[in-house]
Structure formats: structure tokens, C-alpha cells
Amino acid sequence: MDQNNDLDNQEIFQTKRVISPELEAIIYQTIPILDHGFIRVIDYMGDDSAIVQAARVSYGRGTKKKSEDQALIKYLMRHRHTTPFEMCEIKFHLKMPMFVARQWLRHRTANVNEYSARYSIMDKEFYLPDLDQMSSQSMINNQGRGNIVPEDQAVDIRNRLKRDAEQCYDSYEYFLKEDEDTQKAGLARELARMNLPVNFYTQMYWKIDLHNLLHFLSLRADSHAQYEIRVYAEEMLKIVEKWVPTVYEAFMQYRAKSMLLSKASIDILKRKLKGEDVAQESSGLGKREWGELVAVFEDLEN
């Protein structure tokens, strides 16, 4: 009877669903990010073939050769035919500083469950930037960083950040403290937490479909995103590459490393191809847009 049970279990555990072998190999593994953060893949559904399978339903045709499947995925990506990409899902366990979580949670298309500091006591874990991330305010981008500050200044800032976080955590513990002798009750956790700074770490489970994950990555793995969220997004891109390699390639080709060209920009390129010397003043573009266009094409000219 035991043997039969074992056989039954073996049958149960042999899934008929598609799996992605490279992703399977890293499932549950903790990938460290920043000083205390991490990413862990908890579960996923589908692979490259799930997208093709869904897309072919719309055309009423069966499975084709691998090369045709790859071409189809590229076509879907190029033409922003998005719903087949929603057939794949992935669930992460994430740990990040609270100020990163605030940016993260602006992405409304995921399912989220976050650590409750009303229910549980916060760990004494806070983010301290590495010295090479201590940069001054950018002079050209109001939302960005400029040069790294001198080392003595960076060390001073780090020391103060650490001191402040520790002091706040001390008070947090003090607020929570009960005293049986004097019958002093501890403050409710939901109130005690309010003096903790946003560099303290939080955790969440985050589930999202592939289409919306790619949208998230196109914004947060981009150079305009803040470093502290970008490092998570860059690691997630590597996970996407393992999970759905054809989608990853198409995404890099048609989204991440591509650029949306306005009509005015296309007109400039046409004029340039005809040999005309176009300057910003005669381009019809503002300084900022002109700068962005030149930044992409100056590599070609050098």
C-alpha cells in the first residue's frame, strides 16, 4: 500500500505544465541586492511557448517551427500586441528599503502583499548607500545625481545616517517596551513604527504578468530610474532572460534598447540622410529633446 502511495505521489509530482528549466534552477534562491535587500522567485506560470500558444489562438493555427515561434514573439513585441504576454505570470519575494517600495508600489498592475508593521515588529535593518553612491544633486536633471561627493563628506553622511537610524530604532524599541513591574503597556506597533526613517527595509510578495513586468522593467531598469530601484530591476531582467529567453531578446531589441521617434525627429533624420547639416535651432526640437536624439545618434557619427 505504501508503495502504491509512493507511485501515486510520483504521478502527482510530475507536472504536465510547461516549466522553464533555467528559472526552475534558481527558484527560491535569494539574490542579494543593496546591503540587506533581496529578490527571490517564488513561483511562475508559462514560458516562451505559452505566449506563442495564446497568440496562435487568435489566428486559429497550430504550433509551428521554433524559428517561426521566435519570429512571432518578435512580431508581437514590435507591434505592441500585448495580451499574449499576459499569459505568463511570476511571483517574487522582495526585500527593499521603504523609499524604494514607495516607487515600486506606484506600479498598480501587480498583486501585492506587504510585511505588516502593525502586526509584526520591524527588524533593525536599514539601508546605507555605498560611498561610491553618495553623489551630489545633478545640475542638469532635477531628479538625478551628479558627481560623487568627496570621500570625507560621504563618510560623514553615512555615519550620520547610521546614527539617526539607530537612534530612531532605539526609540522604536522604547515605545514598544512593556514593563510588568510598573504595568506599563507598550505602545501599539502601528503607532510605534512612525518614527522609523524610509531607509528601513520592508518585504513584500509581488505577483505580476509578463506584459506588466516588462513595462515595469522598461521604466525601472532604465538609466533615468533611481539607482536603488534600478539594481532590483536589472537583476529581474536577468531572471526574465532565464525564464523567457525569446521574449527577453525581443524586449531588449524593440523596447529596452529602442527609442520612440517623434515625427519631428524622423524629419530631422530624413534631412540628415539627404546630407543637410541640421542644428538644434533649425530642427524644430526643444533643447532637451534634441539632446536626447543626439545622445542616441552621436555614437553612429563617431
Ligand X SMILES: Cc1cc2nc3c(=O)[nH]c(=O)nc-3n(C[C@H](O)[C@H](O)[C@H](O)COP(=O)(O)OP(=O)(O)OC[C@H]3O[C@@H](n4cnc5c(N)ncnc54)[C@H](O)[C@@H]3O)c2cc1C
**Cα 56–chain centre separation:** 29
Please tell me whether residue 53 binds ligand X under the rule CB under 6 A. no
User: Which uninterrupted H or E stretch holds 111?
Assistant: strand 111-114
Which position has the grid cell 489562438?
57
Three-state DSSP state, 177: coil
Please tell me whether residue 212 binds ligand X under the rule CB under 6 A. yes
Three-state DSSP state, 239: helix
Please tell me whether residue 218 binds ligand X under the rule CB under 6 A. no
CB of 82 to ligand X, least distance (A): 10
CB of 66 to ligand X, least distance (A): 31
In the complex with ligand X, which residue's Cβ is closer, 109 or 136? 109
CB of 216 to ligand X, least distance (A): 6
CA torsion through residues 231, 236, 242, 245, sign: negative
User: Is the distance from CB of 253 to CB of 70 less than 8 angstroms?
Assistant: no
Phi, psi of 284 (to 5 degrees): 85, 0
Please tell me whether residue 168 binds ligand X under the rule CB under 6 A. no
Please tell me whether residue 288 binds ligand X under the rule CB under 6 A. no
In the complex with ligand X, which residue's Cβ is closer, 201 or 206? 206
Q: What is the end-to-end Cα distance of the chain in Å, rounded?
A: 75
User: Is the distance from CB of 39 to CB of 27 less than 8 angstroms?
Assistant: no
In the complex with ligand X, which residue's Cβ is closer, 36 or 107? 107
Does the active-site annotation cover 102? no
Please tell me whether residue 40 binds ligand X under the rule CB under 6 A. no
In the complex with ligand X, which residue's Cβ is closer, 143 or 302? 143
Task: Please list the residues that pair with 201 across neighbouring strands.
Answer: 97
In the complex with ligand X, which residue's Cβ is closer, 80 or 160? 80
The site string for ligand X over 137-156 (x = CB under 6 A, - otherwise) reads ------x-------------
Please tell me whether residue 90 binds ligand X under the rule CB under 6 A. no
CB of 112 to ligand X, least distance (A): 11
The catalytic residue among 61, 118, 193, 220 is 220
Residue 265, number of CB atoms within 10 A of its CB: 20
The single-letter DSSP state of residue 105 is T
Task: Please list the residues that pair with 204 across neighbouring strands.
Answer: 94, 114
Please tell me whether residue 263 binds ligand X under the rule CB under 6 A. no
The footprint of ligand X (CB under 6 A) covers: 106-109, 143, 212, 215, 219, 224-225
Active-site residue numbers? 220
